[in-house]
Amino acid sequence: MRASVPANLLLLGEYAVLEEGGLGLAVAVDPRVRISAAPGRPGAGLEVAARMDTELRWTPREPREPRDPRGDSRTALLAAAVEVCCPAGPPPGSIEVDSSDFFFGGRKGGLGSSAAAAVGLCWALLALAAGFPPQPAAVLEAALAAHRRAQGGHGSGYDVFASFHGGAGLFAGGARPSWQPLDLPWLEPLYLFHGERSLSTPVAIGKYREWRLRRPEEAGSFLEKSNRLVWSFSRAASRLEALGSLRRCRELGLRLGESIGVPAAIRPAGDWDGIRAEDCKALGAGNELGLAFPELPPEMPPDGLPESLRPARLASQGLAQESPK
**How is domain 2-175 classified at the CATH fold level?**
Ribosomal Protein S5; domain 2 (3.30.230)
| pTM, rounded to two decimals | 0.91
How far is residue 105's CA from residue 122's CA, in Å, rounded to a whole number?
28
The CA–CA distances, whole Å, from 241 to 12, 86, 238 equal 15, 47, 5
Backbone angles phi, psi at 218, to 5 degrees: -65, -40
Spatial neighbors of 304 by CB under 8 A, at least 6 apart, are none
pLDDT truncated to tens, each residue of the chain (325 aa)?
999 999 999 999 999 999 999 999 999 999 999 999 999 888 788 999 888 766 777 787 544 443 443 344 568 899 999 999 999 889 999 999 998 888 766 566 688 999 999 999 999 999 999 888 899 999 999 999 999 999 888 789 999 999 999 999 999 999 999 999 999 999 999 999 888 766 677 788 899 999 999 999 999 999 999 999 999 999 999 999 999 999 999 999 999 999 999 989 888 766 666 678 888 999 987 778 899 998 866 555 545 567 778 889 999 999 999 866 6
- On the question of a common fold for 2-175 and 190-312, the answer reads no
DSSP letter, residue 288: S
Q: How far apart are the first and last CA of the chain?
A: 8
Q: Which CATH class is domain 190-312?
A: alpha beta
Dihedral over Cα of 288, 308, 229, 155: its sign: negative
Q: Domain extents for the chain?
A: 2-175, 190-312
